[in-house]
Amino acid sequence: MSGIDEQLSEREEIEMLLPWYMTGRLDEADMARVEAYLEQHPDMHHQLALIAEEQTGTIEGNEAIQPRLASVASLLARTETPAGAAKSWFAGLIDGLKSLVEAPTPGAVRWAAAAAAVIICLQAAALGTLLTQDSGGGYQTASRPGVEADHGAVALIAFTDKAAAADITRVLADNRLRMVDGPLPGGFYSVRFEDHATGDEQRKRFDAILARKDLIRAVMTGR
């Protein structure tokens, strides 16, 4: 018996078991114990009524959630990527940003490292943009065909301070992009395409997104 158990009265112990009594998930011994107590203490039945209300509310709350699930085909495609397969530098970069935030190091150090990483990202993004604008070649995606392009993050996008949630949702939807993670350090979000867009189509969509200077602060795609 723990200290907590020793301090609890029989009534309190039974009260704690009631939710599982109601769902029929107590073992036989506890079930018999609760039933015996309820027989001797009919006032406890009020608790069962309260628990029934709580359970109904919980079930209704869950069932109100409309499924928004990725297609099974998309998930199955990911199972075809070997667990130990080499990641693109872009996927590695996203993982790196995440690991900076998750690392069990002091906050100040972590944030300093994250800030440094973001500066590097922005520099890379600026270089990438300049290069593609000069060559007129648009953008390149991070993924090789047929593997990550269908499911992995394909870009990092940062929004302006003025961008409203509705505008962000619309511009992503217009270009068949879905946010898959974020915010990452620097306010970046990772996004991916919802469809099987070709490289040209992806480039067009990123051009369209980057044209929205009122909403988009930076776009970074990779190779």
Partner 1 sequence: MQDQTDDRTLITRIAGQDQAALRALLGRHQLRVYRFVLRIVRREAVAEEVTNEVFLEAWRNAGSYEARSSVGTWLLSIAHNRAVSVMRRRREEAIDEESAGAIADDGDDPEVAAQKLDKAAQMRRCIGELSAEHRTIIDLVYYHEKSINEVSEILGIPLNTVKTRMFYARKKLSELLAAAGIDRGWP
37-56 binders of partner 1 (CB under 8 A): 46-47, 50-51, 53-56
111-130 binders of partner 1 (CB under 8 A): none
Smallest separation, CB 87 to partner 1 (Å)? 14
Tell me the CA distances in angstroms from 72 to 26, 68, 145, 153, one per residue in order: 36, 12, 19, 18
Using the minimum distance from each CB to partner 1, give the nearer residue, 98 or 204. 98
Using the minimum distance from each CB to partner 1, give the nearer residue, 50 or 127. 50
Using the minimum distance from each CB to partner 1, give the nearer residue, 17 or 38. 17
Smallest separation, CB 183 to partner 1 (Å)? 6
Using the minimum distance from each CB to partner 1, give the nearer residue, 27 or 39. 27
Tell me the CA distances in angstroms from 134 to 137, 179, 202, 212, 223, one per residue in order: 8, 29, 19, 20, 17
Relative to beta strand 177-184, strand 216-221 is: unpaired
Strand order in the sheet with 155-159: 177-184, 188-193, 155-159, 216-221
Task: Candidates 180, 199, 207, 217: give the one binding partner 1 (CB under 8 A).
Answer: 180
- Write each residue from 143 to 172 as x if it is in contact with partner 1 (CB under 8 A), else as -, in one continuous string: ---------------------xx--xx--x
Smallest separation, CB 102 to partner 1 (Å)? 6
Beta bridge partners of 221: 155
Using the minimum distance from each CB to partner 1, give the nearer residue, 59 or 131. 59
How far is the C-alpha of 208 from the C-alpha of 180, rounded, in Å?
20
Question: Per DSSP, which regions of the chain are E strands?
Answer: 155-159, 177-184, 188-193, 216-221
29 touching partner 1, by CB under 8 A? no
How far is the C-alpha of 179 from the C-alpha of 75, rounded, in Å?
16
Question: Per DSSP, which regions of 16-151 are E strands?
Answer: none
Tokens representing 137 are: 């070649």
Interacting residues with partner 1 (CB under 8 A): 2, 4-5, 15-17, 19-20, 23-27, 46-47, 50-51, 53-62, 64-65, 67-70, 72, 74-76, 78-79, 83, 98, 101-102, 107, 164-165, 168-169, 172, 178-183, 185, 189
